[in-house]
């Protein structure tokens, strides 16, 4: 950030009066430009054909960077004006053309080194009419034994899948909060 | 937003190629300025003297707008580089000089009309060494029967307190997700 988005003047990176953090402050109009973490919202789409059949999970192979070619759960940046559940449904439509019903908020991760908060809703995949969206190379259902653990795109994906397959044995799905701490880049 | 924060040129409010939402895009350097919801993180500080004494909850009377003079739970905007739990601890220190231990992620609210996501952690108030911070007129412990229900600052505060006093009877505190829908301003 070099210029004020309100008046176009140059900004300085200083600690404003009464604050204790560096902020971008306009040299001209004095506006403080706060910068805050962003939310990534997504879901864990579970398909259960019937009680006799093992549940499967829908994963998407990423067509975009970062981690192009790696498997992920449908997720993306929450937009202004939408709820986190609506964002998860939208991302699942965009990335997998898949129809889901939200069940519960299932996992939330803080990633302070990249100023992101990730959250996943457990969801019921309503039918088999799914296909790759523009950001996916392939979308596919996986049994637990088929999950490509070594080809998962992000730590939040493997953590959420591990929680799910453990919880499924007890048929109870409490919300998890986890902090993923890495050196800042 | 009128000017590009990277190059200082004027921006237009248009739908970029391959997108389906209005964004601010720089007329000169073409940078797309995404705007996303912000996170407010806070806690529900509970003080339990001993097993024979009724638990109390710490509330803060707001010294700042909006809702100056109304009671709230300690909470504020999550900062870049911090976890949501660390943000809740920091805000509790800033607003009430109170020492807490986080117990679990307790409630999460989507407020799409103001593009905010609120979350509260249930926390143990560790001692009685609390006092008003600069953003509080008063900080005080309340029994359930003393909660000033008609003077609570925001719907997310009353919702979280209602969940808590109901859950306390069962001594189980599952995470709640709720959407608070209002006409956009």
Here the tokens at position B120 are 């509260």
**CATH class label, A1-35:** mainly beta
Statement: the pTM of the whole predicted model exceeds 0.90: yes
The residue ranges of every structural domain in chain B are: 1-35, 38-179
Instruction: Check CB contact under 8 Å for B112 and A175.
Output: no
Residue linked to tokens 């609390």: B130
The domain B38-179 having CATH identifier 3.90.79.10: the answer here is: yes
How far apart are the C-alpha atoms of B182 and B67, rounded to whole Å? 18
pLDDT at B184: 63
Here the tokens at position A128 are 């088999």
ipTM: 0.95
List pLDDT tens digits, range A37-71: 999 999 999 999 888 899 999 999 999 999 999 99
> Which positions in chain A have a beta carbon within 8 angstroms of at least one beta carbon in chain B?
1-8, 10-11, 18, 21, 24, 33-39, 77-86, 104-105, 108, 110, 112-113, 115, 117, 119, 174-175, 177, 179, 181, 184
User: What are the φ and ψ backbone dihedral angles of A48, each rounded to 5 degrees?
Assistant: -125, 110
pLDDT at B183: 78
Instruction: Write the CA distances from A31 to A4, A15, A16, integer angstroms.
Output: 8, 13, 10
> Which of A5, A22, A41 is the best residue to mutate to test the B interface, defined by the most B CB atoms within 10 Å of its own CB?
A5
With a cut of 70, say whether residue A153 has pLDDT above it: yes
How far apart are the C-alpha atoms of B95 and B92, rounded to whole Å? 5
Mean pLDDT per block of 10 residues along chain B (185 residues) reads: 96 95 96 97 96 94 97 98 98 98 98 98 98 97 98 98 97 98 76
Judging contacts by C-beta atoms under 8 Å, the chain A residues touching residue B38 are 36
Instruction: Check CB contact under 8 Å for B77 and A110.
Output: no
List pLDDT tens digits, range B44-96: 999 998 888 999 999 999 999 999 999 999 999 999 999 999 999 999 999 99
Instruction: Check CB contact under 8 Å for A39 and B117.
Output: yes
* Residue of A32, A91, A36, A113 lying closest to B34 (CA atoms): A36
């Amino acid at each position: 950030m070099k210029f004020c988005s309100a008046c176009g003047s140059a900004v300085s990176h200083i600690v404003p009066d009464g604050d204790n953090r560096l902020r971008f402050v306009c040299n001209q109009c004095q506006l403080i430009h706060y910068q805050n973490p962003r939310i990534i919202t997504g879901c864990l789409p579970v398909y259960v054909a019937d009680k006799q059949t093992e549940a499967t999970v829908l994963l998407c192979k990423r067509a975009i960077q970062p981690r192009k070619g790696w498997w992920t759960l449908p997720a993306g940046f929450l937009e202004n004006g939408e709820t986190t559940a609506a964002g998860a449904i939208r991302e699942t439509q965009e990335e997998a053309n898949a129809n889901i019903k939200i069940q519960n908020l299932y996992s939330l991760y803080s990633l302070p080194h990249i100023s992101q908060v990730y959250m996943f809703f457990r969801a019921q995949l309503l039918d088999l009419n799914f296909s790759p969206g523009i950001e996916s190379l392939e979308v596919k259902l996986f049994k637990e034994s088929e999950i490509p653990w070594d080809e998962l795109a992000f730590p939040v994906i493997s953590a959420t899948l591990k929680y799910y397959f453990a919880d499924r044995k007890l048929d109870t799905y409490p919300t998890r909060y986890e902090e993923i701490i890495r050196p800042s880049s």
